[in-house]
Amino acid sequence: MPHRPSTDAKGAPGGRGRGAGAPYLSGKQIRYYRPRGSADVRALIDGGFQAFNAGRLSEACHIFADKMLAPENDTTIGLTVAGALTPAGLGGCVIELMDRGLVDFMISTGANLYHDLHYALNFSLHRGSPFLDDVELYEHGIIRIYDVLFAATVLLETDQYIRDFLERAGFEGPMSTSEFHYRLGQDLLQRTPDCAEYSVVAKAAQCGVPIYTSSPGDSSIGMNIAYHELMNGSTFMIDPNRDVNEVCAIILAGRQNGCVILGGGSPKNFYLQGQPTLWEVYGIPKGGNDYFIQLTTDQVVWGGLSGATPSEAVSWGKVNPGVLPDTVVAYCDSTIAFPLFCEYAVGSQHNRRARRELVHKREALVADLLRQAREAKGKPIESEPAEIDRHR
Ligand SMILES: NC(=O)c1ccc[n+]([C@@H]2O[C@H](COP(=O)([O-])OP(=O)(O)OC[C@H]3O[C@@H](n4cnc5c(N)ncnc54)[C@H](O)[C@@H]3O)[C@@H](O)[C@H]2O)c1
């Protein structure tokens, strides 16, 4: 039998009442760390990270800073995020990359976006310990993500904000996640204009960076969208087909394409499947990804996609077979490796690019995908879509 404390709401954390969990939240508040381009970190990565996974991380930094960011390579860069990175305070790294135009689009688990909303709404998450008594935490209304602790009320109030937003926005019918996150980010910016400095979702809306979620039902954002349909009779729903086509269209339009994959999970494949969608489904041979960087704890031996190597991806047409030297997997905890990677990028020569603002170009890019796919399938469109300004 699962343990149930005496509480009004069976199954809800916090049986001892609101505020009872305060002693567990005495650890320092977790804040988003912003990389500043530390010369010492660059020296460490260049001089000290020489072999094994330190060597791979150094390689990843060089592929990103020297090749993917080089203006002559004009690389469209996708960032994929899995693992609980925003709860751990890594959203600041993503914000810095977006601000500098070093990431053009992002694919994330819904959880990372949901937990980013806590920061946007000024709720606090705290440093704690992974060795606490979870039954006690449950009874005191404390949520634990490994060693990150916060009050269950943070969940409830964040959920309430999402539901209020859905009601205010009055969306009906299908929508891509990129559009949904863009509108959500705009709403956050309207409430608190400076929250772009501490929210990935708000920063992305400000910088025109589309954010996709590969499994939209699998997060508290998806849970509240489901509520909105059931309880309010809304017809609003997320349309994953639009996401698939938009990501595919962005990749098609890229002169070169490269990715930074944090963890693995479904965001990894959602990015990588763009190339097979082009050649296998639409009949447009794009030639595979040009750069591939993954920071992960996953391993190849289990046969899962999260641990699959860039070399295996070649066989799927996901990675260009001629570019394997420009691919690397660093087997590291991304909560350690990603801030170092970002410090390196921010301190590098090409540390700022013009933003592509792809969120505003999605329609034209998908129209171009449709035109090329029709041609490839021998069903050209009678009237041509307007000439598009590729990515810039
Ligand atoms: N409240 C919420 O909304 C909520 C909370 C948690 C999870 N979820 C959902 O559950 C699903 C799973 O999420 P997930 O983040 O656990 O992803 P996941 O477990 O599917 O994938 C994470 C992958 O990245 C790797 N990884 C994880 N942490 C890492 C680290 N620190 N360094 C390097 N690699 C690391 C793992 O090995 C794993 O393969 C998602 O769809 C998410 O939206 C929702």
pLDDT digits (tens, 9 = 90+) for 329-356: 999 999 999 999 999 999 999 999 999 9
Q: How far is CA 176 from the centre of its chain?
A: 15
21 CB within 6 A, ligand 1: no
Q: CA dihedral defined by 324, 326, 327, 330, rounded to 10 degrees?
A: 130
Ligand 1 binding pocket mutation candidate from 296, 331, 336, 338 (most atoms within 8 A of CB): 296
Q: Mind telling me the catalytic residues? A: 318
296 CB within 6 A, ligand 1: yes
Picking from 121-125, 272-276, 316-320, which range would have the lowest pLDDT averaged per residue? 316-320
Question: 196: CA distance to ligand 1 center in Å?
Answer: 24
Q: What percent of the chain has pLDDT over 70?
A: 93
Picking from 110-114, 190-194, 278-282, 378-382, which range would have the lowest pLDDT averaged per residue? 378-382
- φ/ψ of 291, rounded to 5, equals -140, 145
Q: Which residue has the higher pLDDT, 64 or 315?
A: 64
206 CB within 6 A, ligand 1: no
* DSSP 8-state class, residue 269: H
Residue 22 has pLDDT above 90, yes or no: no
**369 confidence band (pLDDT: 50, 70, 90):** very high
Q: What percent of the chain has pLDDT over 90?
A: 88
147 CB within 6 A, ligand 1: no
Whole-model pTM: value is 0.94
109 CB within 6 A, ligand 1: yes
210 closest CA partner among 340, 79, 320: 79
Residue 388 has pLDDT above 60, yes or no: no
Q: Which residue has the higher pLDDT, 82 or 4?
A: 82
Mean pLDDT estimate for the chain: 93
**20 confidence band (pLDDT: 50, 70, 90):** low
Atom 36 in ligand 1: residue holding the nearest Cα: 263
pLDDT of residue 384: 54
Residue 211 has pLDDT above 80, yes or no: yes
Q: Which of helix, strand or coil describes residue 52?
A: helix
